[in-house]
Structure 1
Amino acid sequence: MNEQQTVTLRYRMSNRDVFYLGGLINGARNITLLNDTAVRLMAKVFGNTGHCVEVKKIRLYTPSQAGDYMEYIARAKKIEGNRALIEVRAFKVIEVPKNPPFPSSIDVLPEPVLSTVAQFVYETF
């Protein structure tokens, strides 16, 4: 198995993801998408999704808003037998401007902004 394999998931936060006033997204929504990305990596690398047996780390850096385009990148950091340590990072790549001239206006960020980092331990069946 190649430990350098990655999986990328792209997702646009919408009004249905909003949890707080002002269009703010609950951090749990990002964590759910981080886990979804880790599961996809497990399916790609091991041929089955396995199951999460431990959450080693979760760090929330930058909040997400409705309309933000997020990119989730998962990679296996360590593999031992049927266990894998998967790190997933979430980046904000596009955001809605503060005072948009049009409802569909977006700002592509010059550099992706780190939003959330998680480490999961998965075990295959």
Structure 2
Amino acid sequence: METSTRDEREAQTTAFLRVRVGQEEAHYGGNLVDGARILRLFGDLVTEITVRTDGDEGLLAQYSDIRFTAPVRPGDYIEARARLVRQTRLRRVVELEAHKVIRASPEEADSAGEVLDEPQLVCAATATTVVPHRRAHMATARIPTAEEA
């Protein structure tokens, strides 16, 4: 009978979203989408991570090391991923990345797009979330194996 350690469970706790950015989200000149749109995706991913680890949405305490590395425009498809990298009694630290996987190509035609050979990093960050004490206590309790349940 195999049991997983807490470190192994943390390494396996991930979340993923893929969305198409709509025309209504253009916010700046040059038809650019604001970085807050990507941070909202990150917030949803962090929430999913804490629900998976603690059965509670938790409270996002901070973002750190935010780097916007490429523009996002309406029609682009963004793939965002999260991975739990550290867990303490009340805090969860999550690494986040968002990549453009399809680029809108309005210069070719209004509805043209291009699948990128290599996803393009558009944003990376680290988030820290806090979970309520009652849920955090439950998350650190021993998890029974399938045979024991």
- With normalisation by structure 2, the TM-score equals 0.78
Counting aligned pairs with the same residue, the percent is 30
Aligned length: 124
- Greater mean deviation of Cα atoms: 44-53 or 58-67: 44-53
Aligned to 2:121: 114
Aligned to 2:142: none
Equivalent AA in structure 1 for residue 44 of structure 2: D
The answer as to 2:55 corresponding to 1:57 is: no
Gap regions ≥5 residues in structure 1: none
Equivalent AA in structure 2 for residue 62 of structure 1: A
Q: Which has the higher helix share?
A: 2
Larger RCO of the pair (alpha carbons < 8 Å, separation 6+): 1
* Cα deviation, residue 98, structure 1: 5.0
The answer as to 2:126 corresponding to 1:123 is: no
- With normalisation by structure 1, the TM-score equals 0.91
- Greater mean deviation of Cα atoms: 22-31 or 7-16: 22-31
Aligned to 1:38: 46
User: What is the rounded CA distance, in whole Å, between the counterparts of 2:91 and 2:49 in structure 1?
Assistant: 13
Larger CA Rg, structure 1 vs 2: 2
Q: Mapping of 1:1-125 within 5 angstroms?
A: 1=6, 2-4=9-11, 5-97=13-105, 99-101=107-109, 103-125=110-132
* Cα deviation, residue 118, structure 1: 1.3
* Runs of 4+ residues over 6 Å off in structure 1: none
* RMSD over equivalenced CA pairs, Å: 1.3
> How far does the alpha carbon of each residue in 1:29-58 deviate from its partner, in whole angstroms, 9 at most, with x for none?
111211111111211222111001222221
Matched residue of 2:95: which SS? strand
User: What is the rounded CA distance, in whole Å, between the counterparts of 2:122 and 2:113 in structure 1?
Assistant: 18
- Greater mean deviation of Cα atoms: 63-72 or 13-22: 13-22
